[in-house]
Amino acid sequence: MLGRHVSRVRALYRRLLQLHRVLPPDLKALGDQYVRDEFRRHKAAGPAEARRFLQEWEVYATVLWQQANENRQNSTEKACFGTSLPEEKLNDFHDEQIGQLQELMLEATKPSRQFSIPESTEPKI
């Protein structure tokens, strides 16, 4: 039973990281880090919490997969990812989770960063 659970967790983890490949680079980096942190943080979760954790991440994976397909079909429009959280779900969150969600929202809604590579005038040896 434990082996099956571990393989299910690993498969979901890999699937999430694969799905993040369709995200813009900044959101992919943010999403990958968030997934890593959350899976690490819940490594020792009890059975009930682990079940709910996996269920919520499976819902996220399904939504992201659907949005990626919709964005591929509507290639002329700007890609759109994400969904609103219903108030009843927010009411179930602990204060720590609300703070974490707020930090995530602030990070995800920052203006796009511009990557700049300084050009060196010196030849490389």
Structural domain of residue 101, as residue ranges? 2-108
Q: pLDDT at residue 65 above 90?
A: yes
Angle (deg, nearest 10), helices 47-73 and 2-19: 30
SS3 48: helix
Residue 102: inside a domain: yes
Residue 119: inside a domain: no
Supply the pLDDT for residue 35.
95
Please compute the mean of the pLDDT values over residues 9-28 and round it to a whole number. Answer: 93
Q: pLDDT at residue 116 above 70?
A: no
| Tally of domains in the chain | 1
Per the structure block, which two tokens stand in for 68?
A: 């990626």
SS3 93: coil
Of the chain, the percentage scoring pLDDT greater than 70 comes to: 86
Supply the pLDDT for residue 124.
45
Residue 70: inside a domain: yes
Residue 125: inside a domain: no
The answer to pTM > 0.85 is: no
Residue 6: inside a domain: yes
